[in-house]
């Protein structure tokens, strides 16, 4: 007797391979959404709070990893869809990289007592805000995947997702500008900090920038779906 899988993810895959991708992104976005709270604790010099928030981000990243692993293990080699299997795997990998980056930032701040240079705080807050916004926009795109397939990648849904892709690309360009400004400001403040802290702040800024890059890569993947 063949036992049926009781896994909710297995049921989702039988209905649509997009459902687990959407569920994965819903978990991923919760990792990013905690970054402003994480840095608020840094600003307040609340290292205990930093540790708790960093651990929660790590827990959520692990939950996203579990969804990704099960998705990859249960997705069939062939799908009767206008989307290649490798493209779906690339999409969920880009999403997962966003959660990974959020976790890495938390780990750095948890392991060290970091003080943010006052001169970069405003630009840094702007960078965080832009990063959360672009990831939320990327999530909205993912939520439209099922409807896109339903309408045959055309019509009003097509136009809506295309508009979202343009917004993500525009936001990523804006974040690049903010990154250059923050990096330049940090360079000017290097003499006020110890060299090791400077190195870690550059690393944190780089990780935040990578998150927006992965969101843009998601938009590029969706554009590839639309063009096929």
CATH of the domain at 134: 1.20.58.220
Kindly state whether residue 109 falls inside one of the protein's structural domains: yes
* Joined tokens for residue 204: 């944190």
pLDDT at 152 (0 to 100):
56
Kindly state whether residue 83 falls inside one of the protein's structural domains: yes
Please report, in tens digits, the pLDDT of each residue of the chain (228 residues total). 434 444 444 444 445 678 889 999 999 999 999 999 999 999 999 999 999 999 999 999 999 999 999 988 877 655 555 567 788 889 999 999 999 999 999 999 999 999 888 899 999 999 999 999 999 999 998 988 776 665 555 566 677 778 888 889 899 999 999 999 999 999 998 988 889 999 999 999 999 999 999 999 999 888 877 666
CA 53 vs. chain centroid, Å, equals: 17
Q: What is the DSSP letter of 144?
A: T
- List all residues 6 or more positions away from 185 whose beta carbon is below 8 Å from its beta carbon: 117, 119, 120, 123
Kindly state whether residue 5 falls inside one of the protein's structural domains: no
d(CA 45, CA 116): 10
- Domain count of the fold of the chain: 1
Kindly state whether residue 140 falls inside one of the protein's structural domains: yes
Domain that holds residue 49: 14-227
Kindly state whether residue 9 falls inside one of the protein's structural domains: no
Kindly state whether residue 181 falls inside one of the protein's structural domains: yes
Backbone angles phi, psi at 208, to 5 degrees: -65, -40
* Joined tokens for residue 188: 């000017």
Kindly state whether residue 142 falls inside one of the protein's structural domains: yes
């Amino acid at each position: 007797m063949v036992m049926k899988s009781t896994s909710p993810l297995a049921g989702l895959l039988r209905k649509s391979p997009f459902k687990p991708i959407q569920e994965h992104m819903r978990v991923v976005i919760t990792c990013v959404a905690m970054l402003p709270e994480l840095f608020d604790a840094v600003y307040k010099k609340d290292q205990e709070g930093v540790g708790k928030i960093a651990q929660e981000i790590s827990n959520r990243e692990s939950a996203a990893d579990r969804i990704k692993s099960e998705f990859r293990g249960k997705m069939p080699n062939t799908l009767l869809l206008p989307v290649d299997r490798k493209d779906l795997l690339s999409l969920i990998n880009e999403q997962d990289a966003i959660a990974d980056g959020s976790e890495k930032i938390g780990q750095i701040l948890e392991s060290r007592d970091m003080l943010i240079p006052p001169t970069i705080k405003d630009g840094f807050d702007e960078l965080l805000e832009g990063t959360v916004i672009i990831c939320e926009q990327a999530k909205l795109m993912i939520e439209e995947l099922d409807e896109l397939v339903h309408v045959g990648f055309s019509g009003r849904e097509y136009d809506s997702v295309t508009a979202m892709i343009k917004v993500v690309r525009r936001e990523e360009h804006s974040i690049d500008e903010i990154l250059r400004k923050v990096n330049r400001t940090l360079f000017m403040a290097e003499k006020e900090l110890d060299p090791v802290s400077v190195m870690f702040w550059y690393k944190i800024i780089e990780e935040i920038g990578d998150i927006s890059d992965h969101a843009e890569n998601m938009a590029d993947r969706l554009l590839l779906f639309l063009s096929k």
